Amino acid sequence: MFQFEQHHGDAIFVSGIRRLRLCFPTEATVRVTYTEDSVFTERASAIVIARGHVSFNVEETQTLYRLSTSAIEVLVSKASGALTVLNSQGRVLLKEPHRGGKWLTRKKVYRNLFSAAQSIATGQSIDGARAAAESFEAVFDREAFEAKLEFSFVEDEALYGLGSHEEGYGNLRGRSRELYQQNMKAVVPVLISSRGYGVLLDCESLMTFHDDALGSYWWADTVAELDYYIFCGSTLEALYGQYYALTGKPAMLPKWALGYVQSKERYVNAEELLDVAGEYRRREIPLDCIVLDWKSWPNGSGWGQKSFDPIRFPDPSGMTRALHDMDVRLMVSIWPIMTGGCENQIELQQNGQMLGNQSTYNAFDTRARTTYWQQAKRGLFDHGVDAWWCDCTEPFEADWAGAVKPEPHTRLCINTDAAKKYIDEARINSFSLLHSKGIYDGQRSATEDRRVLNLTRSSYAGQHRYGAVTWNGDICGTWEALRRCIPEGLNFCATGEPFWTTDAGGFFVANDPALWFWRGDYNDGCRGLTPMDALQPDAADIGCRDKGFWELYVRWMQYACFLPMMRSHGTDAAREIWRFGEPGESFYDALTAIIRLRSRLVPHLYSLMAAVCRTGTPMLRPLALEFPDDPITRQVDDAFLLGDSLLIAPVTEPMYYSRSSQPLEGRRHTRRAYLPVSSDWFDFWTGIPHAGGIWVNADAPLETIPVFVRSGSILVLGPVRQFTSQLPDEPYTIHVYPGADAIFTLYEDAGDGYAYERGEYALIHFRWDESQQQLTVLPREGRFPTMTATRELTFQIYADTGLKTETVRYDGAEVRIRCTER
């Protein structure tokens, strides 16, 4: 039987060697710690940065203890310590099995000692340089635990989260997940339920999740104690607000990050970068950022040096000035791995700031993070580089070879054993979190005028604090890979890490049977030689000629238009828009149209980003989290919500061409999409309304994908801009979709820098009153130095009798528009 005592604001329950501690960091969050040691550890957390205490009430019955705040109630079984969590209305949110649900198995933890005279084996993989220590001594370090946390889920609930993986799972009920960092796995230890609660496991080791024949549980490889948080909210905003109360609010990205980002593997010199940026400007196709992939460092200097090759980039400051003169930003790839005796590697080695392979810097060391940043600053940032692409942030990847993909458990062992060789096994999942922190802290110490933007291949809970956007790794150019992106991106964003993207078109376009991961579907006109040829300077200078790939690329770009970052990237074939035809040709025109639509969406997207950062409202949402009472949404994993208004249904199968440019005959150019209950929906392209709770066969010609707008919504669209800061005073178009009350808050600030943290921003609230058929633009709140004081606003209201249009000059005072055509 567990006995209760209260100690310094914590509830402590003891039964023999078992010790259970509960406290309430917020009114709607309970922290649970369980150990079989005599005391709890007071370890610092890399994930949770706020550990407040609120008071709680305690009641005791014959069989349980009841702990409660104003928003959450926890029942603790006296017999087993099993928890039952309820919301303030008495609804059961989550239960642990009656036998207890919390299990620890004691284990010994060893660490490896590496001598100064050790031999280091180096090599070149498809994914970059690698180094491995060939000799070391394993010594006992401490005792710890394996942990198992069991749940009893309710039959009709849906679960999302745990990050972005490969399988293409949506709702995680009936699924399992292996949680370790790998090229195409970005782990976040957070689960979110359609019943209005979330679970954060404060653990940095290898984990697995099961909701299958083996049971419903979370297993952790190495912990000092079992430490987790259960939080709840009656709305998604309230729910994610609890997560951010623990882990900190997301940092705003620069506004230009929402524009189109052009990348490929790879641009090889300054001339090519400037020519591509200039061609976009000449063609009047919006572009905000161009990306310089790996090997920008000096030829022959070794891998990963954070400075420009003086031959290919003779004047890096002049190059960035020329890009900035075109209003194009530059993102540069940097790596945590340095080999070949480059200057950066030697400096970190001499400072004792490398991991045991003497090639991967120790991101767990504050001093090493500072040194790494200083290298990036003097070699890149001081020359005008605007953003970072922190590649290979796992940072060890051991299975990226061979023709046959290893079995899942084999891959787990290969990759985690490689990481444990150099990193404490309790922390192998959090390298990316600390690496991102180093970049963020470093740049903020250098300037407050430029926001941090860091594209990273791995992630972890809390990484949103550091200006990070995660992409899902080097996936293949196939229709199936595109389909899998949709649910995986939703699971990633469901964790509360809000900014996610993908390589539009897939990274590997061609197929190489010698490598299990290089399995694109399109060889026609691609590189077509050996994988190592992709590392040559001219490897991807031509476009793929296969119209099957052209169609896939258009559909992928249409999907990417509605992601937090719209970015094209890949190897085998160049991705610039003119590789897909010329003006007046269908593929070129479709790509132009979707990039221009992205430009028009920026005011709306920026407001959604601000809502994430200010209030916790998520940008990308699985349908089941927004419509938990609609059972069909739990099975829909190929569509999503952008904000609470736009339902996006990407096209994930070919309609015009198969491989080798073979025309597809008799294909219908429609896409079946589900419109959830409790709302009516408007076709975004035509304005035609549809009832909710039905499946529709939506038109999906090459130039569009199905997009629907929820009734009771307001969209703010701007003009087509060649870059996001162009035409700051131009009119906005406000689209109003009646059927229910609506409110939308337009957020504006300088677009860059951190003055917004000091309150330098403005809010304009648009409110639609359905009963009065009236739109009100409320008085502007706040201001900032470069604010547009007066702007022309054109309102388009989709009334029953047709489209009502009215234009006003908004100067910050209240405006009312009444729609009488009912």
Asked if pLDDT for residue 530 goes beyond 60, the answer is no
Q: CATH code at 757?
A: 2.60.40.1180
pLDDT band at 536 (very low <50, low <70, confident <90, very high): low
Domain boundary among 195, 219, 247: 247
Average pLDDT, the chain: 96
141 assigned to active site: no
Q: List the single range of 61-70, 519-528, 566-575, 584-593 with lowest mean pLDDT.
A: 519-528
* φ, ψ of residue 218 in degrees (nearest 5): -115, 125
pLDDT band at 118 (very low <50, low <70, confident <90, very high): confident
Q: Which domain holds residue 339?
A: 249-396+429-471
Query: Which of 655, 675, 676 is CA-nearest to residue 665?
Result: 655
Cβ(154)–Cβ(121) below 8 Å: no
pLDDT band at 127 (very low <50, low <70, confident <90, very high): confident
391 assigned to active site: yes
CA 194 to each of CA 31, 97, 713, 815: distance values in angstroms, whole numbers, following the listed order = 20, 20, 22, 38
Domain boundary among 247, 275, 292: 247
Same domain, 51 and 149: yes
DSSP state of 115: -
Count of alpha carbons within 13 Å of 113, Cβ hemisphere only?
6
Choice among 293, 474, 644, 748 that is catalytic = 474
Same domain, 461 and 325: yes
Same domain, 175 and 324: no
What DSSP line would sit under 137-153, residue for residue?
Answer: EEEEEEEEEEEEEE-B-
Asked if pLDDT for residue 529 goes beyond 50, the answer is no
For the segment 290-309, the average pLDDT, to the nearest whole number, is 95
Asked if pLDDT for residue 414 goes beyond 80, the answer is yes
pLDDT tens per residue, range 200-239 = 999 999 999 999 999 999 999 999 999 999 999 999 999 9
Domain boundary among 224, 247, 270: 247
Asked if pLDDT for residue 537 goes beyond 60, the answer is no
Choice among 157, 225, 386, 394 that is catalytic = 394
CA 367 to each of CA 194, 303, 372, 373, 445: distance values in angstroms, whole numbers, following the listed order = 42, 22, 9, 10, 14
Same domain, 147 and 234: yes
Same domain, 241 and 285: no
Same domain, 273 and 296: yes
The sheet carrying 566-568 orders its strands as: 500-501, 468-471, 454-456, 387-390, 329-334, 289-292, 260-262, 566-568
Asked if pLDDT for residue 494 goes beyond 50, the answer is yes
Same domain, 366 and 392: yes
Q: Give rounded-to-5 percent helix, strand, coil for the chain.
A: 20, 30, 45
Domain assignment present for residue 284? The answer is yes
Full-model pTM: 0.97
What integer pLDDT is reported at residue 539 of this predicted model? Answer: 47
What integer pLDDT is reported at residue 52 of this predicted model? Answer: 85
Cβ(177)–Cβ(171) below 8 Å: no
For the segment 691-709, the average pLDDT, to the nearest whole number, is 98
- Rounded to whole angstroms, the Cα distance separating 233 from 28 reads 7
Cβ(254)–Cβ(261) below 8 Å: no
Domain assignment present for residue 243? The answer is yes
Q: CATH code at 156?
A: 2.60.40.1760
Choice among 391, 488, 572, 680 that is catalytic = 391
- Rounded to whole angstroms, the Cα distance separating 31 from 51 reads 9
Rounded to whole angstroms, the maximal C-alpha distance in the chain is 84
What integer pLDDT is reported at residue 254 of this predicted model? Answer: 99
Same domain, 389 and 321: yes
Q: What percent of the chain has pLDDT over 70?
A: 98
Q: What's the total number of domains in the chain?
A: 3
699 assigned to active site: no
pLDDT tens per residue, range 253-279 = 999 999 999 999 999 999 999 999 999
Rounded to a whole number of angstroms, the CA Rg of the chain reads: 27
Domain assignment present for residue 562? The answer is no
pLDDT tens per residue, range 365-410 = 999 999 999 999 999 999 999 999 999 999 998 999 999 999 999 9
What integer pLDDT is reported at residue 179 of this predicted model? Answer: 99
What integer pLDDT is reported at residue 532 of this predicted model? Answer: 46
Asked if pLDDT for residue 814 goes beyond 50, the answer is yes
pLDDT band at 480 (very low <50, low <70, confident <90, very high): very high
